[in-house]
Structure formats: structure tokens, C-alpha cells
Structure 1
Amino acid sequence: MKLEGTILRGPEFEPVEGRVVVEDDEIVAIEEADVESDDIVCPAFVNAHTHVGDSIAKEAGRGLSLEELVAPPDGLKHRLLRQTGREEKVEAIHRSLRFMQQSGTARFLEFREGGVEGVEILRDALGDLAIDPFVLGREETEVLDVADGFGASGAADADFSRERNATREAGKFFAIHAGEVGPEDIHPALDLDPDLLVHMVHADDVHLDRVEDSEIPVAVCPRSNLVTDVGTPPINELRERTSVALGTDNVMLDSPSMFREMEFAAKVCDVPAPAALHMATRAGAEIIGSDAGLVEEGRPAELLVLDGDSDNLAGVRDPVRAVVRRAGTNDVKRVVL
């Protein structure tokens, strides 16, 4: 298979004209050449933080605080999940995952409610979709038997030392929310030596120094943070200290569109376009130990092809800025997974 157009090549997303050659799900060559195609070829997205179980309650809870919406065990989403049957959950999640795949997401890091059953529901919801989940189970350590790791709600909710130790013993991944509502839970979260911190909206210089020293990556979800009125994360300050990836957070609150998340990060949080694209692709892949997220020889062929001659993208002068700040699902011509 050969994909022609403007290729956003390598870690700098250098625009080159030519074709990407794919064999056996791997990029085997990038050939620079004059081609007639207006397509833009870039890495498929890696969504670094999701809660797709919320798909049964999109846009529920107008006027509620973050705690009222999502805090375990009796936040609105948890009550609605308890009231919803398995079949309905599977169908709702499947539709969100299908949208994610159609809009260019290849992989996602999911905080999965419901223990072992919750992980099984997600696996069933995948069906024949090619999108690849990295599943962090919750609520019980037994979930480590079926999940890629454990996703803790936050150090203010409980002492997660037992879950952290179990995850370490199992050789699996441990992630935790921190600094979403305030700074109080950041140091306790860091004390657990997690593999990933999520949110860090209220991180100050002392927290940032600890993050830098420990080299812990961070997943930020700026649209969700604005919706829940907790502020927006200091993305550029975090980027100076560690690796930062983009996530879309709760499907209840926001569409799981990496296009929207990149645009918001670029326009509201003043993140440069190449950095935003890196946060939406390679940064998330690195967190889970994947070689994906770049258009380079030897990388997995997880690619997004945009129609550069769409009414929205025709005439762009900077394809990287176009992907980050302008493109959307309607511009997607093909997703190669």
C-alpha cells in the first residue's frame, strides 16, 4: 500500500511531498517525490486519557460540580452506570469507540470503571473495531488479571498504597488523577511513584520540580478542565519539565475528538502546533511503550490521511497548523490501523 500527499515526517513533523510505503502493517519507506495528491498524511492519534463508560450519559448533569458529576462512589455518572444494563453500556461504548476510530484515533488509555466486569464490557464493546485500548481497571486489585494496569481516582479519595503495591508486583501500569480540583493531592500522588499523572491543573513550581526529578509523564485534558470549572493546566510549564500527552477525559463531558483537544490546547493554552500534534500522537504512544505515533520507517502503520482539498483545508500554507488548529473529522479521508 502506498499513501501519497504531503507527509508530516518524523518527530518534527517535517512536511515532505511524496508517498508512504506500507507492508505488513509497517512503514517500510518514505519516498520523496512529486505527486498529484493534495492529501495530508500524519500519525494517527493516541488519546492519553478517557472514560468511555460515560457514553451512556453524554451531556448529563448541567450545573453540577466536578465532585457531583464524577466523584466515586455516588457521583452522577456512577449512579447512572449502576442503573444501566450491560447491553446498553456495550452499545454506547461501541459507538464512542467507532467515532474515535473514524476521527483518527488508533489507541487510547482508558480508566475503566466496574472492576473486572467493566474491563470485559469494554472488550465486548470493541467488536470488530481496530482501535487499540490500554485499559486501566479500577475498584478492585483483581482487575489486574484482565487489565493493563490500575487507574486510581485520586489520593484525596482513598489510600491507594495497596493497589500501587499490587500493580508493582504484577509488573503492570499505575496511573492516578492529581491536582484536578486543587493541589492538595499532588504530593500524595507523587509519593506513590506512578507511571502517569492525569490533569495536574494546580501544579506549582514545587510539584513541577518533583515531576521533573521523577520523570513522570502527565496526561492533560484542558477542555474537560474548563467544562468542570477547575481551570486549565499549565501545559507549557509542564512541557518544560516532562513528557505531556493529550486526553479527552469523560465522554460525559466532551466529545472524544483529538482534533478538538489539539485545537483547544493550541488556541486557548498557547501550545505551539508541532507540540500539540506531538502531545496527540507520539507522547501518548511513549507512555504505553508503543513505537507508534510517528511517520518514520520501521514504525507501525497507524496513519491518518486528511483530504487537503476539502472545503475546509484547501489553500492551507502550513499543514501542521492545519491539522492542529483547523482540521476535523469531516476532513478525514482514511484511517490506516
Structure 2
Amino acid sequence: MELTGTILQGPDLEPLEGRVVVGEDGRIEAIEETVVDSEDIILPAFVNAHTHVGDSIAKEAGGGLSLEELVAPPDGLKHRLLRAASHEELVDAVRTSLEYMERGGTVACFDFREGGVGGVEVLRAAAEGQAIDAYAFARESLEAMEAGDGFGASGANDDTFDREREATRAASKPFAIHAGEGDPSDLDPALDLEPEFLIHVVHPEPDHLERIEEQAVPVVLCPRSNLVTGVGFPPVEDLLERTTLALGTDNVMLNSPSMFREMEFLAKLSDVPAREILKMATVNGADLLGLEYGALEVGRVGRVLVLDGDSPNLSGVRDPVRAVVRRAGVDDVERVVFAE
């Protein structure tokens, strides 16, 4: 397979006019600079590093409710709606969100799974037959973690999670945890657990920033969700100076699982360079789990997003990286390559 256009290649997404060759084994065989007759923009496909796709049964429910009223276990609105839905209803709703993500260039999502083992089974059933890699960060029990791909903790103020952390280490699976979303009180105990990554970190204090840097703990930001729930906006520049950042769209109840929207939102509400934001949405997310795809480099699996650079929206852009982050959308997607 040969793709031609402006290639955003390597870990730093450097633009290069030329061609990408993906072999029959699904790996990138060549990235070559050459003059081509194509306006396409070729980039790594998106990795949505934090979702709650179970919320797909409750899109735009709960307007005006607080964060606790919306999502706090066990009786927040989302949890009541999840308990009331049948297995089939949940699978159908989750499947629609996964399909939407695929169409928008997302090839993997890291989903915090409510519902124990049953919740993991919902995600597995919804993802069956689809190309997207839907990773289940199970919650609520060790059995769910063993059935899933890791453990996703609600927050260190809810429990100690020592047992779950040790279990993930024994199972060689990742442990991630919400932290610093509403206030800073759960950041130190979350960092004590030495997680593979933190979610949100809206309210870090200087000592938390130092610990994040010292421990080299990556952080997944969900800025649209944070503003919708009224918890504030993360200190993106401070975090970026200290650690690796990735992007997630969080609860489908609150936001569409669109990485285009997440990038544009962050770009227009911060001074973070477009290249850094695009890295958060692509290569950094893939690196959180050591995935074989991510940066467009020879030898890596070719999961590639191709945008129509001659679309009415993108025709004439002068800066392809900035255009992808601030302007592009699902309608500009020409092709998503899901190499295995």
C-alpha cells in the first residue's frame, strides 16, 4: 500500500512531502521524500487515552448537575442509568461510539469500564468485528481487571487501591487512576501508587508537579470534560514542562468522542503549540501502552490517518500541523488505515 502527500512523520511529526509504503505484513516499509501529485495530509491515527463509552446510553443527560451528581459511584446519574440498561442496550450504545471513533480516525481507546466483569464483556461484544482497539481498564473488582486489560481506579479518596495496584503488577497490566480532578487532595495518594498514568490533574500544587516530574508519570488531559463539569482547566503548560501528556475525551455522556474537537478546544484555550497537541492525540497516547503503532516510522505498524488536503475545509492551508489541530474534522477524513 502506498500513500502520498504531506507526511507528518517521526515522533515529532515533522512534515515531509513524499510517500509512505505499508507492506503486506502491516508494517511501514518506507517513508521517502519525493515530489508527489497529492494534497493529502498523512499522519498517525488518533489514540483516545481516556474514555467512558458506557455513557453512550446517556448522551447529554443530566444537564446542570454537578460532577458528583453526574458520575460519582454508586448513585450518580450515569451509574443509575447503567444499572437500568440491559446488556443488549449497552452493547448497541457502545458500538455506535466505537464506530464514530473509527470514522474519525481513532484506532485505539483506553476505556474505564464500569460494571465489573460484565462491563468488560460489554466492551468486548461492542468491539467485535470492528477495527478499533478498545482497551478495558476495568473497575470494581480484581476479577474484572483479570478479564480486562488493566485497572482504572476512580480516585484515591474513594479507596486505597493497594490491593488492585499489586494485582496489576503481578498480572503485568497497567494501572491508571483519576487524580486532581475536583481538588488536589487525592494527588499524593494517587502518586504513591506509582500508576502508569494519571487522568485529569486539574489542580496540582507545586509539590505535585515536582513529584509527577520526579516519578515520570504521564498525564491524560480531558479539557472539554473538565469545563463541562465545572472543575476548571488543567495547567497544561506547567504539566507539559514536566511530563508526557496525552488526550482523552472522557464521558460520552458529556462530550462526543472526537479527537478533532478535543484538539481544537485545547488549542484555542491555551498557548500550547499545535505540534505538542497533535502529539498528545497520537504518538503520546500510543506510547502510554507501548503500542506497536503510533509515530510513522519504518518498522512500526501502519495505523495511519489520511486527510483530504484539498477538501473545502483544508484546501490552501499553509501549516498542515496547525490545520489538523485547529481546523480539520471528520468530514476531511479520506481514509483510515487499520494495519494489524
Q: Which residue of 2 aligns with 1:188?
A: 189
- Greater alpha carbon shift after TM alignment, 22-31 vs 310-319: 22-31
Q: What are the within-5 Å matches in structure 2 for residues 198-277 of structure 1?
A: 198-277=199-278
| CA positional deviation for 1:78 | 0.2
Q: Distance in 1 between matches of 2:65 and 2:137?
A: 26
| CA positional deviation for 1:166 | 1.8
Code of the aligned partner of 1:34 = V
Does residue 20 (structure 1) correspond to residue 20 (structure 2)? The answer is: yes
Q: Distance in 2 between matches of 1:160 and 1:10?
A: 37
Aligned length: 337
Code of the aligned partner of 2:51 = T
Runs of 4+ in 1 over 3 A off after TM superposition: none
Q: What are the within-5 Å matches in structure 2 for residues 51-200 of structure 1?
A: 51-200=52-201
Any idea what the Cα deviations from partners look like across 1:186-210, whole Å, max 9, x if unmatched? 1111111111110000012110000
Q: Distance in 2 between matches of 1:172 and 1:22?
A: 30
Question: Which TM-score applies when normalising by structure 2?
Answer: 0.98
- Greater alpha carbon shift after TM alignment, 155-164 vs 111-120: 155-164
Q: Distance in 1 between matches of 2:100 and 2:43?
A: 18
**8 Å contact kept, 1:134–1:288:** no
Does residue 319 (structure 1) correspond to residue 320 (structure 2)? The answer is: yes
**8 Å contact kept, 1:266–1:273:** yes
| CA positional deviation for 1:333 | 0.4
| CA positional deviation for 1:12 | 2.1
Any idea what the Cα deviations from partners look like across 1:276-330, whole Å, max 9, x if unmatched? 0100011111111113221111111000000001110001000000000100000
Identity of aligned residues (%): 64
Question: Which TM-score applies when normalising by structure 1?
Answer: 0.98
| CA positional deviation for 1:171 | 2.0
| CA positional deviation for 1:138 | 0.4
Instruction: Determine helix, strand or coil for the equivalent of 2:184.
Output: coil
Q: Which residue of 2 aligns with 1:298?
A: 299
| CA positional deviation for 1:43 | 0.4
Q: Which residue of 2 aligns with 1:5?
A: 5
Does residue 45 (structure 1) correspond to residue 46 (structure 2)? The answer is: yes
| CA positional deviation for 1:269 | 2.1
Q: Distance in 2 between matches of 1:13 and 1:137?
A: 32
Instruction: Determine helix, strand or coil for the equivalent of 1:184.
Output: helix
**8 Å contact kept, 1:61–1:69:** yes
Instruction: Determine helix, strand or coil for the equivalent of 1:135.
Output: strand
Any idea what the Cα deviations from partners look like across 1:197-233, whole Å, max 9, x if unmatched? 1000001211000011111111010000010010011
- Greater alpha carbon shift after TM alignment, 8-17 vs 327-336: 8-17
Which ranges of structure 1 fall in alignment gaps of 5 or more residues? none
